[in-house]
Amino acid sequence: MKLLHIILILLIALEHFYFLILEMFLWTSPKGIKTFGLKSKQFAEDTKVLAANQGLYNGFLAVGLIYSLVINNSNSTVFFLICIAIAGIYGAYSTKKIKLFYIQSVPAIVTLILSFLV
């Protein structure tokens, strides 16, 4: 793998670790409420278990990407990038927040394309 490709994969993994932190630990904080555009502190409290579960999945995606680099398995890297791209597409569609597509899917899609070029 080329250095740029590895750096992009690591940045995507870091992004998903950040999502894990936001969703598992900061969901009910002012930062979490603002980041996700939640209706109220009460809504955040009511949904924090769901958000934590979602954060855990983001952590699994991050670990999967890092593991794919450690074992140097491009098939695993492609698999996790596809999962991230699809999650971002579905998230943007289901929440009607196109910003989510640009934050989550676009980096994964760009890195996927690069995966096939290196």
User: What is the dihedral sign for C-alpha 36, 40, 43, 47?
Assistant: positive
Q: For residue 81, how many C-alpha atoms fall within 13 Å in the half-sphere facing its CB? A: 26
Structure token digits, residue 66: 């890092």
**Number of domains forming the structure of the chain:** 1
Tell me the CA distances in angstroms from 22 to 34, 52, 54, 55, 86, one per residue in order: 11, 9, 10, 7, 20
Which domain covers residue 42, as residue numbers? 3-117
pLDDT digits (tens, 9 = 90+) for 57-108: 999 999 999 999 999 999 999 999 999 999 999 999 998 889 999 999 999 9
Mean pLDDT of the chain: 95
pLDDT digits (tens, 9 = 90+) for 33-47: 999 999 999 999 999
Confidence band, pLDDT 50/70/90 cuts, at residue 1: low
